[in-house]
Structure 1
Amino acid sequence: MNNNDSSLWQWQETDNGNYLTCQLLKDWQHGFFSSHFQGKLPEMLVKHLNPSASIYRLKQIHSDILLSTDKVDFLKQDADLVEGDGIITQKPLQSVWAASADCTPVLIADRATGKVTAIHSGWRGTASKIVPKAIDLLKSQGSKEENLLFALGPAIHGKVYQVDKPVAIKVLKTIINEDLEDNLIIEKGYQLNHQPILPDEEENKVKLNVTQVINLQIQQQNIPVDNISIAPYCTYQTPEFFFSYRRTKQKNVQWSGIVSL
């Protein structure tokens, strides 16, 4: 099965610019917004999805912290932005958002309950298994694996994302469930489906495909492959549509959001 089917992804045109949608999430108002919307926060972007939806976003810290919208409401009494990297809706018409510049934005929808989740997962979040933890949390709230749908948005591609081997090993350990020495984990990583890592010409470096690690993490949680779709765009290699911190070293972001049914 192939969850890299680019035909599932479409550009939506607005007066402000273009944003991406994924056919897998067609029943939900959602969008992976491009750099055309620079400087616009979810408070403004939500009008492209549903102006009636309430807005939830976090102060992202590259963690595995997942919060319900109820918990965000409770914690917001003490701070403007609550820290964390994933939000799960509890009520209809709640929009949840993730900001990214090379990290993978993950939007999850439950076709039985209508609830949705937005996650920011860079290599640190991926190493701490934020997406598998979200699946466990959703299941504890009544979701079933076969009803969960995953759209993995534009992120830096493995072919251009050089990291130190210790970083790759930390991330690979989340999908290689064997007690192996570090050098064998790298070797095993080269053999896995979807090429989560690729060789690099520089010593002690590899190329890391974080999105494909997340893809494998999701599949290892008994999610059907057909329930996962990966955006066919690399933030680093598509400067006309996406910010990339790796490319420019500037702290710009693009937002991804989804509204609960």
Structure 2
Amino acid sequence: MTRPFVQSPRLGAVAEIRHGFFGREGGGSLGEFASNNMSTSTGDSADLVTANRAGATAALGFDPASLCVLKQVHSAKVVVVDAMPAHGNAIEADAMVTRLPALALGILTADCTPILFADPQAGVIGAAHAGWRGAVDGIVGNTIAAMIDLGARPERIIAAIGPTISGPNYEVGEQFRSDFLALHPNGEHVFHTPPGGKVHFDLPRFVAEQLGAAGVSQIDSVGGCTYGQPERYFSHRYATHQQTRTGRQIAIIGLT
């Protein structure tokens, strides 16, 4: 079965790194979760999700048993993964970094921003789940700091921002903006209000700016807007507006 994914041109040019941002196509899930759902917490069959994860991991040339997926909690917590994942032992965090070859780091999203990182010279990679809460609280900077602790340097790090909800589709309201600006007073420019509408937040722009503030200049954005392409990506907000459920897509990176 073909399992489509998109890649960052910069990461794709590095021979010792394999990565991919998968969408909702190419799996075995049915109905609301059709077809490549990667989450066991949405109501989908655990067996089908396991098969979907195995297929995506294998499509990149990794052993399905090497896939490490976090229990994401919308935090700014980063963990260092220095061993192959133990079955059923989910770690609560929203980003991970490693120097371990043949380990596949997987991030689940359905509107939040997936970010894949690599410093090829240092042999250090990372993966982060940046929802608005994690992004505002510093998940981007924390991930880069954890990579630096393993020997990476910001100017060498490549960062790829994957499919995520775009500013035109991310309505948040005045309270959100007030709370955000209390923490990031220079961030007014990542908001806009369409005529007759409510405040919108540009999450991927904010994430890109956080990357730049941490010294990362090699940044790719791939995949487009999850909300605007419901046939291609799972979108929690789109599903909520349609009064249905949705799955999660996965972004994977690993060292060969």
Count of residues in correspondence between the two structures: 226
**Corresponding residue of 1:80:** 89
The structure 2 residue matched to 1:142, chosen from 143, 147, 151, is 151
Q: Deviations over 1:160-193 (max 9, x none)?
A: 11002232344455654xxxxxxxx6xx613xxx
* 3-state DSSP of counterpart to 2:210: helix
**Corresponding residue of 1:212:** 205
Whole-angstrom CA distance in 2 between matches of 1:101 and 1:146: 30
The change in CA–CA distance for 1:172 and 1:152 in structure 2 (over 3 A counts) is farther
**Contact 2:97–2:146, Cα closer than 8 Å, also in 1:** no
* 3-state DSSP of counterpart to 1:163: coil
**Corresponding residue of 1:47:** 58
**TM-score, normalising length from structure 2?**
0.80
Whole-angstrom CA distance in 1 between matches of 2:84 and 2:130: 19
Whole-angstrom CA distance in 2 between matches of 1:44 and 1:68: 25
The structure 1 residue matched to 2:82, chosen from 70, 75, 78, is 70
The change in CA–CA distance for 1:89 and 1:150 in structure 2 (over 3 A counts) is same
The change in CA–CA distance for 1:21 and 1:235 in structure 2 (over 3 A counts) is same
The structure 1 residue matched to 2:18, chosen from 18, 24, 29, is 29
| Residue 89 of structure 1 pairs with residue 98 of structure 2 | yes
**Contact 1:127–1:170, Cα closer than 8 Å, also in 2:** no
**Corresponding residue of 1:198:** 192
Letter in 2 for 1:22: S
**Corresponding residue of 1:237:** 228
**Corresponding residue of 2:248:** 253
**Corresponding residue of 2:72:** 60
* 3-state DSSP of counterpart to 2:6: strand
**Corresponding residue of 1:20:** 6
* 3-state DSSP of counterpart to 2:123: coil
* 3-state DSSP of counterpart to 1:146: helix
**Contact 1:162–1:200, Cα closer than 8 Å, also in 2:** no
**Contact 1:116–1:259, Cα closer than 8 Å, also in 2:** yes
Whole-angstrom CA distance in 1 between matches of 2:178 and 2:117: 26
**Contact 1:69–1:87, Cα closer than 8 Å, also in 2:** yes
Unaligned runs of 5+ in 1: 1-14, 177-184, 191-195
- 1:133-172 aligned at under 5 Å gives the runs 133-172=142-181
**Corresponding residue of 1:119:** 128
CA RMSD of aligned residues (A): 2.2
**Contact 1:110–1:149, Cα closer than 8 Å, also in 2:** yes
The change in CA–CA distance for 1:175 and 1:138 in structure 2 (over 3 A counts) is farther
Per-residue deviation, 1:158: 0.2
The change in CA–CA distance for 1:214 and 1:172 in structure 2 (over 3 A counts) is farther
Instruction: Determine what percentage of the aligned residue pairs are the same residue.
Output: 26
* 3-state DSSP of counterpart to 1:167: helix
